[in-house]
């Protein structure tokens, strides 16, 4: 890995955006943990990234599929992308609900 990228990844956790919902209302929003999960992915801690934000892999899969579909037209791309979106939203909502338990 290039040295600048390594330095950026280690410094990224010092410059994360605070959650406005958590600051104003005192509880996590549905997106809380996503930034830390991405940093954990870049550090190679894949299980901790999943524990931090379970929807991270479905979101990455969705973004990867959409990028692939942009360059290579896939036959049933609409159905696949909608399925990946629904799976991502369900994982986000389930994770959000479990935070309150």
- How do residues 37-79 score in pLDDT, each as one tens digit? 998 998 889 999 999 999 999 999 999 999 999 999 899 999 9
What is 19-50 written as a DSSP string? PHHHHHHSS--TTTTHHHHHHHHHTT-HHHHH
Q: Looking at residue 17, what is its pLDDT?
A: 78
CA-based max dimension of the chain: 45
pTM: 0.78
Tell which residue, 100, 67, 66, 71, has the closest CA to residue 83: 66
The pLDDT > 70 percentage for the chain reads 87
Distance (Å, whole) CA 99 – CA 101? 6
* Domain ranges within the chain, ordered by starting residue: 1-53, 54-101
Would you state the structure tokens that stand for residue 90, as one six-digit string?
Answer: 């369900």
Distance between CA atoms of residues 99 and 42, nearest Å: 24
């Amino acid at each position: 890995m290039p040295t600048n990228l390594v330095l950026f990844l280690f410094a990224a956790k010092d410059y994360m955006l605070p959650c406005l919902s958590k600051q104003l209302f005192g509880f996590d929003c549905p997106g809380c943990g996503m930034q830390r999960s991405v940093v954990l992915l870049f550090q190679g801690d894949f299980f901790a990234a999943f524990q931090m934000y379970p929807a991270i892999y479905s979101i990455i899969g969705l973004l990867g599929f959409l990028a692939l579909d942009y360059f290579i037209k896939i036959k049933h791309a609409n159905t696949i992308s909608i399925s990946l979106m629904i799976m991502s939203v369900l994982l986000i909502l389930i994770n959000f609900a479990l935070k309150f338990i």
